[in-house]
A and B are shown apart, each in its own frame.
Chain A
Amino acid sequence: MESLDSLNQQTQEKRLTFSLLATLFILFGLSLFIGDANINLINALSSIFNGESTLSAIIISDIRLPRAVLAVLIGASLGLSGAALQGMVRNPLAEPGVIGVSTSAALGAVIVFYFGFATAFPLALPLGGITGALLAVLFLYLLTRSNNSMLTLILAGVAVSSLSAALTALALNLSPNPYASLEIFFWLMGSLADRSFTQVWLILAPTLMGWWLILSTRRDLDVLSLGEDTAQSLGVNLQRLNKRIILGVALSVGAAVSVSGGIGFVGLVVPHLLRRFVGYQPGRLLTCSALGGAVLLLAADMTVRLLPTQQELKIGVLTALLGAPFFLHLILKSKREWAS
């Protein structure tokens, strides 16, 4: 006996989920067509099924497919984490990139690169990213606990970002090998080019674990809209909720950044665009944001491949170019709340 309003909202949410899923499938298929090499997809697919290793088959299965899979995994992690962080601190500006979680994850990965752990032990890379992300989320959480104003969050994010960026620069500065630092520098810009299934397998477990942790807070996150005291009185175990989101974000974003470098603003833009379709409920926003993030990153990755630039544009550069003005717009829109 749900009322009309809530029924409408449910159909709206279902429709949204369905159209996001459909878009994701279509983009995924299309992305296999896009790239430098001109490939007949039908031939390539038939040779993949027949087990022949023709050039076109290799390009599809070893280059384009892992790239598309990574775009989906990483985009979903970023969209989901943005929505979860915003729900946790009850602030629409919380986003892994904006509040410095991505930068810290990148620092973790750079340290692993720098000391050469990554070659000795491949899992060190996602572990480094996860550790960096975890430290940043924990710090921000502790800081915003007593004061969850926009200003505190953004300034704390600036501080975390600056410190991580400075330490990353220090590592590059001290690096004995200039080529290695150039490589790290490019990697920091964020890209999905030249990745393989190795990276997919590397981040799959922490990513899925992070998603599961975050999604398990779905209903409690809705109740947290009423503030911590009321949420607790309604039966929410606040400590468990916060732990799950902090760990979930650290796992999924840390893993994502460690293979893609810094890709910002996905977690800011996607939840903001989708929030109205789920009645502004932070818990209901989670799944849609994950799907939306995957769609956005896949589309962005296809765009950088299609743009007629001499050198492929880094996807992190594209998302930052589009996301930063959006961020500014959000700040101006919520200017009134800055006083609080």
Chain B
Amino acid sequence: MSLIASNIHVTLSGNAILKDINIEFSKGKLIGLIGPNGAGKSTLIRVLAGLQMVESGNITFNNKQLHTFSRSELAKKITYLPQSGICHWPMTVERVVMLGRHPHRDSQRLNDTDMQSVEQAIEDADVAHLKGRSINELSGGEQARVMLARALATQSDVLLADEPIASLDPRHQIEVMALLQSLASKGKTVIVVLHELHLAMRYCGGLILLDKGRKASEGMPKDVLTTENLQTVYGINAIFGKHQGSDWVLPWGHKKEEKA
């Protein structure tokens, strides 16, 4: 698996959203995409999913131009999980997760592999107890986990997830991050938009920091989440520490406050 974006520029209704983005994603890594609101994170994810046209630049997937793949070919390899995924009809949780098998289906019925993937995904996203419930009756966090299960059920090489843990409670945030980390260790490439800097620091194998459409920093979490980067890009101060051998970060007050 190789996913490479080079010199990406995206302009949406006159505004430059992404400017000269160059990134190379490698196999089996959990990469966090961080940055303030409006930095271009969601647009970048959509570009990588082949859903957003670029003004200029190149995306290659497995050494082939991304746009030369057909939708159905791409769907088997790259999964996209949008920010607040919705289901327009009150289908049951199991049915929604089954839709994740769409790229692999060639008959009306789901086969054994399909059903195993669905079961596994439902288990992993901790929604087994909601299986028969209608999705519109669930809380926001529960719906987000169902959508994650839907994305996992595809069992693709690459998972692009836009803020998958934003509406989850702390336990499920930690569980999902640990799950994504273990998927990455098994060879999946996981690219995830995050605002939770403490979880980004703890679980990601690498971070990309976007600022106003540009790549501000890239590297290991502790090299990206530095006092200087957090001050210039987010305008915040943070405190850092170590617990059981791992680095942690805690955003603490904004810049102006500290100066005063």
Contact = CB atoms under 8 A, between A and B. Distances in A.
A47 interface: no
Contacts of A6: 94-95, 98, 110
Contacts of A275: 89
A230 B85 CA distance: 8
Nearest to A10: B109
A310 interface: no
A225 B88 CA distance: 5
19 contacts: A6-B95, A9-B95, A90-B88, A90-B89, A219-B102, A225-B89, A226-B86, A226-B99, A226-B150, A233-B75, A233-B78, A234-B154, A235-B72, A235-B102, A236-B102, A279-B91, A280-B134, A281-B91, A281-B95
A210 interface: no
Contacts of B71: 232, 235-237
B95 A234 contact: no
B26 interface: no
Interface in B86-116: 86-92, 94-96, 98-100, 102-103, 105, 108-110, 112, 115-116
Nearest to B98: A6
B43 interface: no
A233 B161 CA distance: 12
A322 B109 CA distance: 38
Contacts of B119: 3
Contact of A234 (B46, B88, B102): B102
Given A1-B116, A281-B95, 17 more contacts: A2-B110, A5-B92, A223-B102, A225-B91, A227-B82, A229-B82, A233-B49, A233-B51, A233-B74, A233-B80, A234-B100, A234-B154, A235-B75, A275-B89, A280-B95, A281-B89, A282-B89
Contact of B86 (A2, A5, A227, A232): A227
A70 B74 CA distance: 44
Contact of B99 (A1, A234, A237): A234
B212 interface: no
A232 B51 contact: yes
A222 interface: yes
Contact of B94 (A3, A90, A236, A282): A3
Contact of A1 (B82, B91, B95, B115): B115
B38 interface: no
Interface residues of B, number: 42
Contacts of A234: 75, 99-100, 102-103, 154
A118 B50 CA distance: 49
Residue among B74, B75, B105 with most chain A CB within 10 A: B75
Contacts of B78: 233
B99 A222 contact: yes
Contacts of B90: 280
A46 B212 CA distance: 83
A9 B94 CA distance: 12
A288 B160 CA distance: 36
Nearest to B84: A227
A1 B115 CA distance: 7
A228 to B, nearest CB: 9
Contacts of B172: none
A237 B85 CA distance: 19
A226 B94 contact: no
Contact of B74 (A90, A222, A235, A279): A235
Contacts of B109: 2
Contacts of A236: 71, 102
A227 B144 CA distance: 15
B181 interface: no
A170 B247 CA distance: 77
Contacts of B74: 233, 235
Interface string B173-188: 0000000000000000
